[in-house]
């Protein structure tokens, strides 16, 4: 029986039920959902997964990179769980749609984004992911020991990942960081090796999109190293919207950024506890003077 005929029969059953007496028990009807075109089913999955019922769900979490700015508000967990439990086919379709439309970070940064990092994702869902993001600059004096590219990260399972987004919070090789950094080349080498190892483990990666905070220079040591690693891996280079870089943009041109801008971006890359402690110390210095 064709889909159109089944829909006509379904509408006929509804008419029969509506014509019955209100005193009679209503008959539960089955809608041929799985016979809808896949495009319509995806629209329905999107509505169920990303339609919040509370205003608090509309508040954004995180403030760094595309993973924070483009994250969709989620429907209540009860709605999502109910959708995934309808049937095996609906579970697989809805789960694939959910994971393929999100941007997951490779490593965590302390901006309270609720979305898990790739290491925390169940292995069965890694093959659905299409976009991941690497944010560098956080803890530039002492990167977390957990920032290691190994088998447990699961990058080799992400066969559908086509885009890697790289967001640079600060470049510690700039003069403003003199006296605070381990060495001028330390963080540049750390980030370069990190990106090199990630690019090696993504089997289907096509392009890398770069973006940054205002003080980061496109021709600075850190960005130069990251671009070199990307081009050596024969990946296409794209530019994100925040920094405003293009293929013709030349950072050798004179700009208005100062060492203060670099220092501020470096400060923002730290955790909120460090910023608060520094703010308190500055207030003490001001009162003392």
Per-residue pLDDT of 221-262, as tens digits, reads 999 999 999 999 999 999 999 999 998 866 654 455 555 666
CA distances, 3 to each of 32, 88, 152, 273 (Å): 8, 21, 45, 60
Mean pLDDT, residues 168-195? 92
| Cα–Cα distance measured from residue 161 to residue 41, given in angstroms and rounded to the nearest whole number | 23
CB within 8 Å of 34: residues ≥ 6 apart:
41, 87, 89, 90
The residue among 141, 70, 69, 135 whose CA lies nearest residue 108 is 135
Residue pLDDT, tens place only, 98-122: 999 999 999 998 887 888 999 999 9
Average pLDDT of the chain is 83
Torsion of CA 13, 19, 22, 28, to 10 degrees: 0
Percentage of residues in the chain having pLDDT higher than 70: 73
> Tell me, what's the pLDDT at 20?
52
Q: Starting at the edge strand that comes first in sequence, how are the strands of the sheet with 131-136 ordered?
A: 103-105, 131-136, 163-168, 207-212, 236-239
> Tell me, what's the pLDDT at 73?
81
The predicted model scores a pTM of 0.79
> Tell me, what's the pLDDT at 3?
59
């Amino acid at each position: 029986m064709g889909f159109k005929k089944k829909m006509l029969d379904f509408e006929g059953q509804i008419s029969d039920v509506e014509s019955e007496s209100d005193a009679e028990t209503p008959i539960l009807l089955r809608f041929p959902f799985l016979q809808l075109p896949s495009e319509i089913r995806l629209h329905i999955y999107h509505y169920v997964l990303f339609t919040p019922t509370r205003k608090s769900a509309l508040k954004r979490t995180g403030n760094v990179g595309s993973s924070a700015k483009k994250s969709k508000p989620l429907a209540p967990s009860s709605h999502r769980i109910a959708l995934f439990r309808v049937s095996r086919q609906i579970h697989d379709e809805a789960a694939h749609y959910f994971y393929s439309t999100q941007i997951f970070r490779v490593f965590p940064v302390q901006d309270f984004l609720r979305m898990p990092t790739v290491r925390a994702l169940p292995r069965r869902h890694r093959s659905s992911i299409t976009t991941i993001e690497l944010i560098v600059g956080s803890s530039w004096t002492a990167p977390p020991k957990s920032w290691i590219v190994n088998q447990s990260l699961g990058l080799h399972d992400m066969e559908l990942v086509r885009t890697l987004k790289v967001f640079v919070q600060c470049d510690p090789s700039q003069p403003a960081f003199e006296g605070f950094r381990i060495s001028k080349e330390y963080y540049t080498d750390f980030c370069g090796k990190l990106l090199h190892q990630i690019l090696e483990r993504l089997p289907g990666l096509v392009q890398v999109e770069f973006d940054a905070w205002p003080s980061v220079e496109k021709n600075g040591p850190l960005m130069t190293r990251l671009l070199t690693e990307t081009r050596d891996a024969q990946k296409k280079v794209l530019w994100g919207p925040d920094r405003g870089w293009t293929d013709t943009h030349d950072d050798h041109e004179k700009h208005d950024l100062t060492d203060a801008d670099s220092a501020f971006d470096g400060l923002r890359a730290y955790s909120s506890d460090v910023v608060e402690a520094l703010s308190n110390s500055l207030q003490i210095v001001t009162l003392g003077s």
